[in-house]
Protein backbone atom coordinates (compact mmCIF):
# COMPACT_ATOMS: atom_id res chain seq x y z
CA UNK A 1 0.00 0.00 0.00
CA UNK A 2 1.46 3.38 -1.01
CA UNK A 3 1.80 6.19 1.49
CA UNK A 4 -0.96 8.11 -0.33
CA UNK A 5 -3.28 5.13 0.13
CA UNK A 6 -2.35 4.92 3.80
CA UNK A 7 -2.96 8.67 4.04
CA UNK A 8 -6.48 8.34 2.62
CA UNK A 9 -7.20 5.43 4.92
CA UNK A 10 -5.93 7.22 8.01
CA UNK A 11 -7.60 10.62 7.48
CA UNK A 12 -9.64 11.58 10.47
CA UNK A 13 -7.59 9.76 13.08
CA UNK A 14 -6.93 12.00 16.05
CA UNK A 15 -5.54 9.56 18.59
CA UNK A 16 -2.33 7.60 18.94
CA UNK A 17 -1.55 4.45 20.88
CA UNK A 18 2.17 5.25 20.83
CA UNK A 19 3.64 6.14 24.27
CA UNK A 20 6.43 7.91 22.38
CA UNK A 21 3.86 10.39 21.08
CA UNK A 22 2.34 10.79 24.55
CA UNK A 23 5.73 11.75 25.99
CA UNK A 24 6.36 14.22 23.14
CA UNK A 25 3.01 15.89 23.84
CA UNK A 26 3.87 16.15 27.52
CA UNK A 27 7.17 17.82 26.64
CA UNK A 28 5.77 20.29 24.07
CA UNK A 29 1.94 20.43 24.19
CA UNK A 30 -0.79 18.84 22.09
CA UNK A 31 -0.86 21.89 19.80
CA UNK A 32 2.75 21.36 18.73
CA UNK A 33 2.87 17.59 18.25
CA UNK A 34 0.95 16.36 15.22
CA UNK A 35 0.42 12.70 14.39
CA UNK A 36 -2.63 12.95 12.13
CA UNK A 37 -2.33 11.70 8.56
CA UNK A 38 -2.51 15.16 7.02
CA UNK A 39 0.49 16.60 8.86
CA UNK A 40 2.48 13.40 8.45
CA UNK A 41 1.79 13.41 4.73
CA UNK A 42 2.76 17.08 4.34
CA UNK A 43 6.03 16.51 6.18
CA UNK A 44 6.93 13.36 4.27
CA UNK A 45 8.16 15.24 1.19
CA UNK A 46 10.42 18.08 0.17
CA UNK A 47 10.76 19.94 -3.15
CA UNK A 48 12.53 17.01 -4.82
CA UNK A 49 11.07 14.35 -7.10
CA UNK A 50 11.50 11.61 -4.50
CA UNK A 51 8.40 10.08 -2.93
CA UNK A 52 9.73 7.52 -0.45
CA UNK A 53 8.99 9.59 2.65
CA UNK A 54 6.92 8.39 5.57
CA UNK A 55 6.86 10.65 8.61
CA UNK A 56 6.14 9.74 12.18
CA UNK A 57 4.93 12.37 14.67
CA UNK A 58 5.70 15.96 13.66
CA UNK A 59 7.04 18.21 16.43
CA UNK A 60 7.28 22.00 16.45
CA UNK A 61 9.70 23.08 19.20
CA UNK A 62 10.12 26.74 20.10
CA UNK A 63 13.14 26.54 22.43
CA UNK A 64 16.50 24.80 22.61
CA UNK A 65 15.32 23.00 25.74
CA UNK A 66 12.36 21.53 23.85
CA UNK A 67 14.66 20.22 21.11
CA UNK A 68 16.78 18.61 23.83
CA UNK A 69 13.70 16.97 25.34
CA UNK A 70 12.59 15.61 21.95
CA UNK A 71 16.02 14.10 21.38
CA UNK A 72 16.12 12.59 24.86
CA UNK A 73 12.67 11.05 24.45
CA UNK A 74 13.62 9.69 21.03
CA UNK A 75 16.72 8.09 22.54
CA UNK A 76 14.66 6.57 25.35
CA UNK A 77 12.39 4.88 22.78
CA UNK A 78 15.23 4.17 20.29
CA UNK A 79 13.35 6.14 17.65
CA UNK A 80 15.03 7.99 14.77
CA UNK A 81 14.59 11.72 14.20
CA UNK A 82 14.77 14.03 11.18
CA UNK A 83 15.17 17.79 11.36
CA UNK A 84 13.25 19.85 8.82
CA UNK A 85 13.31 23.50 7.77
CA UNK A 86 11.13 24.96 5.03
CA UNK A 87 11.12 21.78 2.93
CA UNK A 88 12.76 23.46 -0.08
CA UNK A 89 15.49 20.80 -0.39
CA UNK A 90 15.98 19.23 -3.80
CA UNK A 91 17.96 16.09 -2.95
CA UNK A 92 15.58 14.40 -0.50
CA UNK A 93 17.74 15.27 2.50
CA UNK A 94 14.79 16.02 4.80
CA UNK A 95 12.54 13.21 3.58
CA UNK A 96 11.80 11.00 6.61
CA UNK A 97 12.59 7.30 6.15
CA UNK A 98 11.20 4.67 8.50
CA UNK A 99 8.58 6.88 10.20
CA UNK A 100 10.96 8.95 12.37
CA UNK A 101 9.90 11.88 14.49
CA UNK A 102 10.09 14.97 12.29
CA UNK A 103 11.43 18.00 14.17
CA UNK A 104 10.14 21.02 12.26
CA UNK A 105 12.27 24.03 13.18
CA UNK A 106 10.11 26.69 11.51
CA UNK A 107 8.76 28.13 14.79
CA UNK A 108 12.30 28.84 16.03
CA UNK A 109 12.52 31.88 13.77
CA UNK A 110 13.88 34.75 15.86
CA UNK A 111 16.77 37.06 15.00
CA UNK A 112 18.33 37.08 18.45
CA UNK A 113 21.15 39.60 18.26
CA UNK A 114 22.90 41.91 15.78
CA UNK A 115 26.49 42.72 16.75
CA UNK A 116 27.69 45.34 14.28
CA UNK A 117 31.03 45.86 16.01
CA UNK A 118 31.97 42.20 15.50
CA UNK A 119 29.90 41.81 12.32
CA UNK A 120 27.97 38.86 13.74
CA UNK A 121 24.27 38.04 13.90
CA UNK A 122 22.84 35.35 16.15
CA UNK A 123 19.73 33.71 14.71
CA UNK A 124 17.52 30.71 15.28
CA UNK A 125 17.49 28.06 12.54
CA UNK A 126 13.97 28.86 11.32
CA UNK A 127 14.88 32.41 10.22
CA UNK A 128 14.22 32.86 6.49
CA UNK A 129 17.41 33.62 4.58
CA UNK A 130 16.13 36.78 2.89
CA UNK A 131 14.47 38.05 6.07
CA UNK A 132 17.87 38.35 7.72
CA UNK A 133 19.24 40.47 4.87
CA UNK A 134 16.13 42.66 4.90
CA UNK A 135 16.55 43.15 8.65
CA UNK A 136 20.23 44.06 8.17
CA UNK A 137 19.56 46.72 5.52
CA UNK A 138 19.08 49.39 8.19
CA UNK A 139 22.68 48.80 9.33
CA UNK A 140 24.17 48.70 5.82
CA UNK A 141 24.85 44.95 5.96
CA UNK A 142 23.48 41.74 4.47
CA UNK A 143 23.84 37.95 4.71
CA UNK A 144 25.88 36.95 1.68
CA UNK A 145 24.74 33.37 0.87
CA UNK A 146 21.72 33.78 -1.41
CA UNK A 147 20.17 30.53 -2.66
CA UNK A 148 17.54 30.94 -5.37
CA UNK A 149 14.99 29.88 -2.76
CA UNK A 150 16.16 32.58 -0.32
CA UNK A 151 12.65 34.02 -0.02
CA UNK A 152 11.50 30.81 1.69
CA UNK A 153 14.51 28.67 2.71
CA UNK A 154 15.76 28.79 6.30
CA UNK A 155 19.25 29.48 7.58
CA UNK A 156 19.15 26.19 9.48
CA UNK A 157 18.51 24.42 6.19
CA UNK A 158 21.34 26.40 4.59
CA UNK A 159 23.66 25.14 7.33
CA UNK A 160 22.51 21.55 6.84
CA UNK A 161 23.26 21.60 3.09
CA UNK A 162 26.08 24.18 3.04
CA UNK A 163 23.99 26.12 0.55
CA UNK A 164 25.40 28.59 -1.93
CA UNK A 165 23.69 30.83 -4.46
CA UNK A 166 24.65 33.19 -7.28
CA UNK A 167 26.92 35.36 -5.12
CA UNK A 168 28.94 32.48 -3.65
CA UNK A 169 31.53 32.99 -6.40
CA UNK A 170 33.03 35.96 -4.56
CA UNK A 171 31.70 35.42 -1.06
CA UNK A 172 31.75 31.64 -0.64
CA UNK A 173 29.00 29.24 0.43
CA UNK A 174 27.36 29.04 3.86
CA UNK A 175 30.41 27.50 5.52
CA UNK A 176 32.34 30.75 4.97
CA UNK A 177 29.68 32.74 6.85
CA UNK A 178 28.95 30.61 9.92
CA UNK A 179 31.21 31.23 12.91
CA UNK A 180 29.54 29.25 15.67
CA UNK A 181 26.70 26.81 16.18
CA UNK A 182 24.65 25.74 19.17
CA UNK A 183 23.69 22.15 18.43
CA UNK A 184 21.75 19.39 20.11
CA UNK A 185 23.39 16.02 19.68
CA UNK A 186 21.29 12.87 19.15
CA UNK A 187 21.42 11.99 22.86
CA UNK A 188 20.06 15.41 23.81
CA UNK A 189 23.36 16.94 24.93
CA UNK A 190 23.85 20.59 23.97
CA UNK A 191 27.19 21.69 22.54
CA UNK A 192 28.59 24.90 21.09
CA UNK A 193 30.98 24.32 18.22
CA UNK A 194 33.11 26.91 16.50
CA UNK A 195 33.47 30.35 18.02
CA UNK A 196 33.81 34.06 17.32
CA UNK A 197 37.59 34.11 17.68
CA UNK A 198 39.55 33.99 14.38
CA UNK A 199 41.01 30.52 15.04
CA UNK A 200 39.01 28.51 17.60
CA UNK A 201 41.04 25.86 19.39
CA UNK A 202 40.66 22.18 18.71
CA UNK A 203 39.18 20.24 15.82
CA UNK A 204 37.09 22.04 13.23
CA UNK A 205 33.81 20.50 14.33
CA UNK A 206 31.97 23.50 12.91
CA UNK A 207 33.26 22.61 9.45
CA UNK A 208 32.27 18.98 9.96
CA UNK A 209 28.75 19.88 11.09
CA UNK A 210 27.94 22.32 8.28
CA UNK A 211 26.75 20.32 5.29
CA UNK A 212 26.14 17.15 7.31
CA UNK A 213 22.44 17.20 6.36
CA UNK A 214 21.13 16.57 9.85
CA UNK A 215 23.06 13.34 10.34
CA UNK A 216 25.16 14.68 13.23
CA UNK A 217 22.53 16.55 15.23
CA UNK A 218 20.26 19.58 15.10
CA UNK A 219 21.21 23.25 15.06
CA UNK A 220 19.32 25.48 17.51
CA UNK A 221 21.30 28.74 17.30
CA UNK A 222 23.63 30.06 14.62
CA UNK A 223 26.25 32.80 14.78
CA UNK A 224 26.62 34.09 11.21
CA UNK A 225 29.07 36.53 9.71
CA UNK A 226 27.33 39.58 8.25
CA UNK A 227 28.75 41.38 5.23
CA UNK A 228 29.01 45.11 4.62
CA UNK A 229 26.87 46.13 1.65
CA UNK A 230 29.21 47.45 -1.08
CA UNK A 231 28.98 51.13 -2.10
CA UNK A 232 28.59 50.34 -5.80
CA UNK A 233 27.23 47.46 -7.85
CA UNK A 234 27.34 47.01 -11.63
CA UNK A 235 25.20 44.35 -13.29
CA UNK A 236 25.89 43.34 -16.89
CA UNK A 237 23.77 41.19 -19.20
CA UNK A 238 25.73 39.62 -22.06
CA UNK A 239 24.00 37.87 -24.98
CA UNK A 240 25.57 35.10 -27.07
CA UNK A 241 24.71 33.12 -30.18
CA UNK A 242 26.00 29.89 -28.60
CA UNK A 243 26.30 28.38 -25.13
CA UNK A 244 29.95 27.57 -25.84
CA UNK A 245 30.75 31.28 -26.33
CA UNK A 246 29.07 32.11 -22.99
CA UNK A 247 30.96 29.34 -21.17
CA UNK A 248 34.30 30.39 -22.67
CA UNK A 249 33.65 33.99 -21.65
CA UNK A 250 33.19 32.87 -18.05
CA UNK A 251 36.57 31.12 -18.08
CA UNK A 252 38.23 34.10 -19.77
CA UNK A 253 36.94 36.55 -17.15
CA UNK A 254 38.33 34.45 -14.29
CA UNK A 255 41.58 33.89 -16.19
CA UNK A 256 41.95 37.67 -16.48
CA UNK A 257 42.11 37.89 -12.68
CA UNK A 258 38.59 39.27 -12.26
CA UNK A 259 36.38 37.57 -9.67
CA UNK A 260 32.88 39.01 -10.02
CA UNK A 261 30.36 38.73 -7.22
CA UNK A 262 28.24 36.53 -9.47
CA UNK A 263 28.26 34.94 -12.93
CA UNK A 264 25.04 33.22 -13.98
CA UNK A 265 24.22 31.62 -17.34
CA UNK A 266 20.79 30.77 -18.76
CA UNK A 267 20.08 29.08 -22.08
CA UNK A 268 17.50 30.26 -24.61
CA UNK A 269 14.69 27.99 -23.48
CA UNK A 270 14.77 29.12 -19.88
CA UNK A 271 15.41 32.74 -20.84
CA UNK A 272 12.21 32.72 -22.89
CA UNK A 273 10.29 31.12 -20.02
CA UNK A 274 11.60 33.72 -17.58
CA UNK A 275 10.84 36.61 -19.91
CA UNK A 276 7.23 35.58 -20.42
CA UNK A 277 6.90 34.99 -16.66
CA UNK A 278 8.58 38.13 -15.28
CA UNK A 279 9.22 40.51 -18.19
CA UNK A 280 12.75 41.29 -17.00
CA UNK A 281 13.99 42.46 -20.39
CA UNK A 282 15.98 39.35 -21.32
CA UNK A 283 16.71 38.90 -25.05
CA UNK A 284 14.59 35.99 -26.30
CA UNK A 285 16.66 35.47 -29.45
CA UNK A 286 19.98 34.78 -27.65
CA UNK A 287 21.17 31.17 -27.41
CA UNK A 288 22.60 32.01 -23.99
CA UNK A 289 22.76 34.97 -21.65
CA UNK A 290 25.39 35.67 -19.01
CA UNK A 291 24.48 37.76 -15.98
CA UNK A 292 27.59 39.23 -14.33
CA UNK A 293 27.73 41.39 -11.23
CA UNK A 294 30.73 43.27 -9.85
CA UNK A 295 30.84 45.08 -6.50
CA UNK A 296 33.11 47.49 -4.69
CA UNK A 297 34.19 51.12 -4.95
CA UNK A 298 32.87 53.07 -7.93
CA UNK A 299 36.22 53.39 -9.70
CA UNK A 300 36.90 49.68 -9.29
CA UNK A 301 33.52 48.52 -10.55
CA UNK A 302 33.81 50.78 -13.60
CA UNK A 303 37.18 49.29 -14.49
CA UNK A 304 36.03 45.69 -13.97
CA UNK A 305 32.81 46.23 -15.92
CA UNK A 306 34.81 47.71 -18.80
CA UNK A 307 37.20 44.73 -18.83
CA UNK A 308 34.29 42.28 -18.78
CA UNK A 309 32.73 44.05 -21.76
CA UNK A 310 36.00 43.74 -23.69
CA UNK A 311 36.33 40.06 -22.84
CA UNK A 312 32.69 39.42 -23.73
CA UNK A 313 32.91 40.97 -27.18
CA UNK A 314 36.23 39.21 -27.80
CA UNK A 315 34.54 35.86 -27.11
CA UNK A 316 31.49 36.36 -29.27
CA UNK A 317 29.00 38.43 -27.26
CA UNK A 318 26.37 39.82 -29.61
CA UNK A 319 25.12 42.43 -27.17
CA UNK A 320 26.11 43.71 -23.73
CA UNK A 321 23.85 45.77 -21.53
CA UNK A 322 24.60 47.37 -18.17
CA UNK A 323 21.69 47.94 -15.80
CA UNK A 324 21.36 51.69 -15.45
CA UNK A 325 19.22 51.73 -12.30
CA UNK A 326 18.67 49.73 -9.14
CA UNK A 327 15.17 48.89 -10.40
CA UNK A 328 16.56 47.39 -13.61
CA UNK A 329 19.18 45.45 -11.68
CA UNK A 330 16.57 44.03 -9.30
CA UNK A 331 14.38 43.03 -12.23
CA UNK A 332 17.23 41.15 -13.91
CA UNK A 333 17.90 39.26 -10.69
CA UNK A 334 14.20 38.63 -10.16
CA UNK A 335 14.21 36.92 -13.54
CA UNK A 336 17.14 34.73 -12.58
CA UNK A 337 15.79 33.82 -9.15
CA UNK A 338 12.31 32.95 -10.40
CA UNK A 339 13.63 30.78 -13.22
CA UNK A 340 12.47 27.55 -11.59
CA UNK A 341 8.98 28.93 -11.02
CA UNK A 342 8.78 29.97 -14.67
CA UNK A 343 9.04 26.32 -15.67
CA UNK A 344 5.40 25.76 -14.64
CA UNK A 345 4.35 27.47 -17.87
CA UNK A 346 5.85 24.57 -19.83
CA UNK A 347 5.58 21.42 -17.71
CA UNK A 348 4.08 20.54 -14.32
CA UNK A 349 7.25 18.90 -12.98
CA UNK A 350 11.01 19.24 -13.21
CA UNK A 351 14.08 17.41 -11.93
CA UNK A 352 16.88 19.81 -11.02
CA UNK A 353 20.48 18.63 -10.82
CA UNK A 354 23.38 20.07 -8.86
CA UNK A 355 26.69 18.71 -10.08
CA UNK A 356 29.87 20.80 -10.30
CA UNK A 357 32.42 20.56 -13.11
CA UNK A 358 35.63 22.45 -13.91
CA UNK A 359 34.90 25.75 -15.71
CA UNK A 360 37.05 24.57 -18.63
CA UNK A 361 34.66 21.63 -19.13
CA UNK A 362 31.39 23.58 -19.00
CA UNK A 363 30.70 23.71 -22.74
CA UNK A 364 31.55 20.05 -23.36
CA UNK A 365 29.48 18.83 -20.41
CA UNK A 366 26.47 20.93 -21.43
CA UNK A 367 26.59 19.47 -24.94
CA UNK A 368 26.62 15.96 -23.49
CA UNK A 369 23.66 16.82 -21.23
CA UNK A 370 21.73 17.97 -24.31
CA UNK A 371 22.51 14.64 -25.97
CA UNK A 372 21.19 12.75 -22.95
CA UNK A 373 17.96 14.75 -22.92
CA UNK A 374 17.46 14.18 -26.64
CA UNK A 375 18.03 10.44 -26.30
CA UNK A 376 15.46 10.20 -23.52
CA UNK A 377 13.06 12.52 -25.36
CA UNK A 378 13.08 15.05 -22.53
CA UNK A 379 13.20 18.84 -22.55
CA UNK A 380 16.26 20.18 -20.74
CA UNK A 381 16.82 23.78 -19.67
CA UNK A 382 20.07 25.10 -18.24
CA UNK A 383 20.54 27.79 -15.63
CA UNK A 384 23.65 27.65 -13.51
CA UNK A 385 26.30 29.30 -11.35
CA UNK A 386 28.83 29.53 -14.16
CA UNK A 387 31.60 31.15 -12.13
CA UNK A 388 32.17 28.04 -10.00
CA UNK A 389 30.91 25.46 -12.49
CA UNK A 390 27.81 24.54 -10.46
CA UNK A 391 25.37 23.17 -13.05
CA UNK A 392 21.59 23.18 -12.67
CA UNK A 393 20.13 21.37 -15.70
CA UNK A 394 16.36 21.03 -15.39
CA UNK A 395 14.66 18.01 -16.93
CA UNK A 396 11.02 18.90 -17.61
CA UNK A 397 8.33 16.22 -17.42
CA UNK A 398 4.81 15.28 -16.39
CA UNK A 399 4.88 12.79 -13.52
CA UNK A 400 1.38 11.60 -14.44
CA UNK A 401 2.73 9.91 -17.57
CA UNK A 402 3.40 6.23 -17.00
CA UNK A 403 7.09 5.39 -16.80
CA UNK A 404 8.15 9.03 -16.90
CA UNK A 405 9.78 9.12 -13.45
CA UNK A 406 11.91 6.10 -14.30
CA UNK A 407 13.00 7.79 -17.53
CA UNK A 408 13.87 11.02 -15.72
CA UNK A 409 15.90 9.23 -13.05
CA UNK A 410 17.80 7.27 -15.71
CA UNK A 411 18.67 10.49 -17.53
CA UNK A 412 19.69 12.06 -14.23
CA UNK A 413 22.04 9.18 -13.48
CA UNK A 414 23.78 9.75 -16.82
CA UNK A 415 24.15 13.46 -16.09
CA UNK A 416 25.82 12.71 -12.77
CA UNK A 417 28.25 10.29 -14.38
CA UNK A 418 29.06 12.76 -17.18
CA UNK A 419 29.94 15.31 -14.50
CA UNK A 420 32.10 12.88 -12.55
CA UNK A 421 33.89 11.80 -15.72
CA UNK A 422 34.72 15.46 -16.36
CA UNK A 423 36.48 15.68 -13.00
CA UNK A 424 33.48 17.11 -11.19
CA UNK A 425 31.65 16.35 -7.95
CA UNK A 426 28.10 15.33 -7.08
CA UNK A 427 26.82 18.47 -5.40
CA UNK A 428 27.62 22.15 -5.12
CA UNK A 429 24.90 23.22 -2.71
CA UNK A 430 21.84 20.94 -2.68
CA UNK A 431 23.48 18.10 -0.76
CA UNK A 432 23.56 14.35 -1.26
CA UNK A 433 20.36 13.32 0.53
CA UNK A 434 18.93 10.22 -1.11
CA UNK A 435 19.28 11.57 -4.65
CA UNK A 436 23.03 11.11 -5.03
CA UNK A 437 23.61 8.56 -2.29
CA UNK A 438 24.07 5.63 -4.67
CA UNK A 439 26.77 7.53 -6.57
CA UNK A 440 28.98 8.27 -3.58
CA UNK A 441 30.91 5.07 -4.34
CA UNK A 442 31.86 6.56 -7.71
CA UNK A 443 33.31 9.70 -6.13
CA UNK A 444 34.89 8.28 -2.97
CA UNK A 445 36.87 5.14 -2.16
CA UNK A 446 35.65 2.60 0.36
CA UNK A 447 38.22 3.94 2.80
CA UNK A 448 36.92 7.50 2.33
CA UNK A 449 33.34 6.41 2.98
CA UNK A 450 34.27 4.34 6.01
CA UNK A 451 36.05 7.35 7.54
CA UNK A 452 32.97 9.49 6.89
CA UNK A 453 30.86 6.88 8.65
CA UNK A 454 33.24 6.88 11.64
CA UNK A 455 32.79 10.65 11.92
CA UNK A 456 29.05 10.23 11.86
CA UNK A 457 29.22 7.47 14.47
CA UNK A 458 31.25 9.73 16.78
CA UNK A 459 28.35 12.21 16.86
CA UNK A 460 25.54 9.66 16.68
CA UNK A 461 26.55 6.27 18.16
CA UNK A 462 23.00 4.88 17.82
CA UNK A 463 22.70 6.13 14.22
CA UNK A 464 19.23 7.60 14.74
CA UNK A 465 19.76 11.08 13.29
CA UNK A 466 18.34 11.34 9.75
CA UNK A 467 19.01 7.68 8.93
CA UNK A 468 19.29 6.42 5.38
CA UNK A 469 20.89 9.57 3.97
CA UNK A 470 24.18 10.65 2.38
CA UNK A 471 26.32 7.56 2.91
CA UNK A 472 25.55 4.62 0.58
CA UNK A 473 24.41 1.18 1.72
CA UNK A 474 27.21 -0.79 3.29
CA UNK A 475 29.00 2.31 4.54
CA UNK A 476 26.39 3.79 6.87
CA UNK A 477 25.80 2.83 10.48
CA UNK A 478 22.19 3.94 9.98
CA UNK A 479 21.26 1.43 7.25
CA UNK A 480 19.07 -0.62 9.57
CA UNK A 481 17.47 2.38 11.29
CA UNK A 482 16.22 3.69 7.94
CA UNK A 483 14.31 0.47 7.31
CA UNK A 484 12.66 0.12 10.71
CA UNK A 485 8.90 0.45 10.86
CA UNK A 486 6.70 1.22 13.83
CA UNK A 487 4.08 -1.40 14.71
CA UNK A 488 0.92 -1.47 12.60
CA UNK A 489 -2.00 0.51 14.00
CA UNK A 490 0.10 2.64 16.30
CA UNK A 491 -1.31 5.89 14.89
CA UNK A 492 -4.91 5.26 15.69
Q: Which domain-ending residue is among 399, 421, 443? A: 421
Answer whether residue 179 shows pLDDT above 90. Answer: yes
Question: Same structural domain for residues 316 and 362?
Answer: no
Q: How many angstroms separate the CA atoms of 249 and 275, rounded?
A: 23
The structural domain count of the chain equals: 3
Q: Look at residue 359 and tell me if it is in a domain.
A: yes
Q: How many angstroms separate the CA atoms of 352 and 373, rounded?
A: 13
Question: Same structural domain for residues 156 and 212?
Answer: yes
Q: Which domain-ending residue is among 341, 366, 387? A: 341
Please report, for residues 63, 106, 183, 187, 378, the alpha-carbon distance to residue 161 in angstroms, rounded to integers and kept in the order given. 22, 16, 15, 22, 28
Instruction: Summarize the confidence of residues 208-236 as an average pLDDT.
Output: 97
Q: Look at residue 65 and tell me if it is in a domain.
A: no
List, for residues 90-106, the tens digit of each pLDDT value. Answer: 999 999 998 999 999 99
Please state whether beta strands 141-142 and 227-228 pair in parallel, antiparallel, or not at all (unpaired): antiparallel
Instruction: Summarize the confidence of residues 481-485 as an average pLDDT.
Output: 55
Question: Same structural domain for residues 390 and 403?
Answer: yes
Q: How many angstroms separate the CA atoms of 18 and 130, rounded?
A: 39
Domain of 373? Answer: 347-421
List, for residues 106-153, the tens digit of each pLDDT value. Answer: 999 999 999 999 999 999 999 999 999 999 999 999 999 999 999 999
Q: How many angstroms separate the CA atoms of 195 and 223, rounded?
A: 8
Q: Look at residue 475 and tell me if it is in a domain.
A: no
Answer whether residue 443 shows pLDDT above 90. Answer: yes
Question: Same structural domain for residues 295 and 401?
Answer: no
Instruction: Summarize the confidence of residues 391-412 as an average pLDDT.
Output: 95
Mean pLDDT of the chain: 93
Residue 475's pLDDT is 82
Question: Same structural domain for residues 152 and 214?
Answer: yes
Cα 131 from chain centroid (whole Å): 17
Confidence of residue 15 (pLDDT cuts 50, 70, 90): low
Instruction: Summarize the confidence of residues 454-475 as an average pLDDT.
Output: 93
Question: Same structural domain for residues 143 and 195?
Answer: yes
Q: For residues 102 and 57, is the Cβ–Cβ distance under 8 A?
A: yes
Answer whether residue 34 shows pLDDT above 60. Answer: yes
Instruction: Summarize the confidence of residues 31-52 as an average pLDDT.
Output: 92
Question: Same structural domain for residues 368 and 404?
Answer: yes
List, for residues 296-325, the tens digit of each pLDDT value. Answer: 999 999 999 999 999 999 999 999 999 999
Q: Look at residue 128 and tell me if it is in a domain.
A: yes
Confidence of residue 28 (pLDDT cuts 50, 70, 90): very high
The CATH number covering residue 413 comes to 3.30.70.2740
Q: For residues 350 and 397, is the Cβ–Cβ distance under 8 A?
A: yes
Confidence of residue 11 (pLDDT cuts 50, 70, 90): very low
Q: What percent of the chain has pLDDT over 70?
A: 94
Of 451, 391, 387, 388, which is closest to residue 420 (Cα–Cα)?
Answer: 391
The CATH number covering residue 176 comes to 3.30.465.10
Question: Same structural domain for residues 314 and 373?
Answer: no
Residue 51's pLDDT is 80
Question: Same structural domain for residues 215 and 265?
Answer: no
Q: Look at residue 243 and tell me if it is in a domain.
A: yes
List, for residues 243-292, the tens digit of each pLDDT value. Answer: 999 999 999 999 999 999 999 999 999 999 999 999 999 999 999 999 99
Question: How many residues does this entry show for the chain?
Answer: 492
List, for residues 352-390, the tens digit of each pLDDT value. Answer: 999 999 999 999 999 999 999 999 999 999 999 999 999
Residue 199's pLDDT is 81
Q: Look at residue 201 and tell me if it is in a domain.
A: yes
Question: Same structural domain for residues 131 and 215?
Answer: yes
List, for residues 423-438, the tens digit of each pLDDT value. Answer: 999 999 999 999 999 9
Question: Same structural domain for residues 332 and 241?
Answer: yes
Q: Look at residue 311 and tell me if it is in a domain.
A: yes
Q: Look at residue 152 and tell me if it is in a domain.
A: yes
Q: Which domain-ending residue is among 421, 447, 471? A: 421
Question: Same structural domain for residues 297 and 393?
Answer: no
pTM of the model: 0.92
The CATH number covering residue 244 comes to 3.30.70.2190
Burial class from Cβ neighbours inside 10 Å (0-12, 13-18, 19+) for residue 338 reads middle
Residue 490's pLDDT is 59
Amino acid sequence: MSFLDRFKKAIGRTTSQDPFVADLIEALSAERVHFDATQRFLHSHDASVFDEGNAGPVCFPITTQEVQEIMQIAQQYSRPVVARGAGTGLAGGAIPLGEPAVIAMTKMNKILEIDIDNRVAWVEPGVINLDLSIHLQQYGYHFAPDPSSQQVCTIGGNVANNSGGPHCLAYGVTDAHVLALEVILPDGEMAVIGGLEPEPEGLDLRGAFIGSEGTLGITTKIGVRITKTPPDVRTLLLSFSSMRDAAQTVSAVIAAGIVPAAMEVMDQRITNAVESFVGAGYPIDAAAVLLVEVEGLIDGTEIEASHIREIGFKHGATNIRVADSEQERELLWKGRKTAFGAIAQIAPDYYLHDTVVPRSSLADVLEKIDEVAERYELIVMNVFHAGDGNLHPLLLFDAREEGMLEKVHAAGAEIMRISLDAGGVLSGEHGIGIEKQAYMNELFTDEDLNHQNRLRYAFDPDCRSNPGKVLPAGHSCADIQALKKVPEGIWG
